[in-house]
Amino acid sequence: MYTLLSGFYKYMVQKNEYCVLILGLDNAGKTTYLEAAKTKFTKNYKGMNPNKITTTVGLNIGKIDVSGIRLNFWDLGGQEELQSLWDKYYAESHAVIYIVDSNDRERIDESKETFDKMIASENLIGVPLLVLANKQDIVDCMGVREVKPIFKKNAHMIGRRDCMVMPVSALNGDGVDEGILWLVDSIKRNSHIRPPRNHDEM
């Protein structure tokens, strides 16, 4: 009897789980963004001190529960030699957050090339895409009006998918909520194409 009740309770409280990739060049602010998201959406979570965050070599994992679902984030290292590992995660993902350092004009073309390579993957066809122009707290950085046309140049590659470009400051948390909530809506809307993963598979 206990097993039956316990199983029923587990079934009732378990949330649908979705995997979200956080991609972008090194130093774009991916890990800082993940920490900001966890801080915003997880009660009593005290984020890492931004000064202590170092370059990701490999993978950072985080999760938040929002709007009745669980998002599992995979924050992947952005150095050129690590980008070749990204596509191993594409087939498992339900959405992609691509973070752009909008204060780094010198590398914006490199970031765009990396972005184009990513969205050309067959394993990401139709997957919702959130492009974040990060570091909006820095004076004279590129605003969304400057970043958006650069990343929408190859609109045919983005194809028919939910896609949004938004301003954000991972450092002070501005725009983090809006981006996550947009992503949740998009993931739910596309769950018939990419159903949630079961707990047993995680």
Tell me the pLDDT of the chain (202 aa) as tens digits.
556 555 555 555 678 999 999 999 999 999 999 999 999 998 877 766 666 666 665 688 999 999 999 999 999 988 888 888 899 999 999 999 999 999 999 999 999 999 999 999 999 999 999 999 999 999 999 999 999 999 988 878 888 899 999 999 999 999 999 999 999 999 999 988 888 876 444 4
pTM of whole model > 0.95? no
Binding positions for GTP are 24-31, 78, 134-137
* Residue 76, number of CB atoms within 10 A of its CB: 19
Which tokens is 186 given?
A: 């998009």
Q: DSSP readout, the chain?
A: -HHHHHHHHHHHHPPEEEEEEEE-STTSSHHHHHHHHHHHHSTT--PPPGGG----SSEEEEEEEETTEEEEEEEE--SHHHHTTTHHHHTT-SEEEEEEETT-GGGHHHHHHHHHHHHT-GGGTT--EEEEEE-TTSTT---HHHHHHHHTTTHHHH-SS-EEEEE--TTT-TTHHHHHHHHHHHHHHTTTTSPPBPGGG-
Strand 69-76, strand 59-66: pairing: antiparallel
Contact criterion met (CB below 8 Å) for 71 and 40? no
Measure the CA dihedral 61/136/26/105, to 10°: 160
Return binding residues for Mg(2+): 31, 56
Using a 10 angstrom Cβ sphere, with 0-12 exposed, 13-18 middle and 19 or more buried, the burial of residue 58 is exposed
Binding site, annotated residues: 24-31, 56, 78, 134-137
Query: So what's the pLDDT on residue 189?
Result: 93
How many whole angstroms from its chain centre is CA 92?
A: 13
What does DSSP say about strands 163-167 and 129-134: parallel, antiparallel, or unpaired?
parallel
pLDDT of residue 11: 54
Q: Which residue, among 170, 136, 167, 132, has the nearest Cα to 36 in the 3D structure?
A: 170
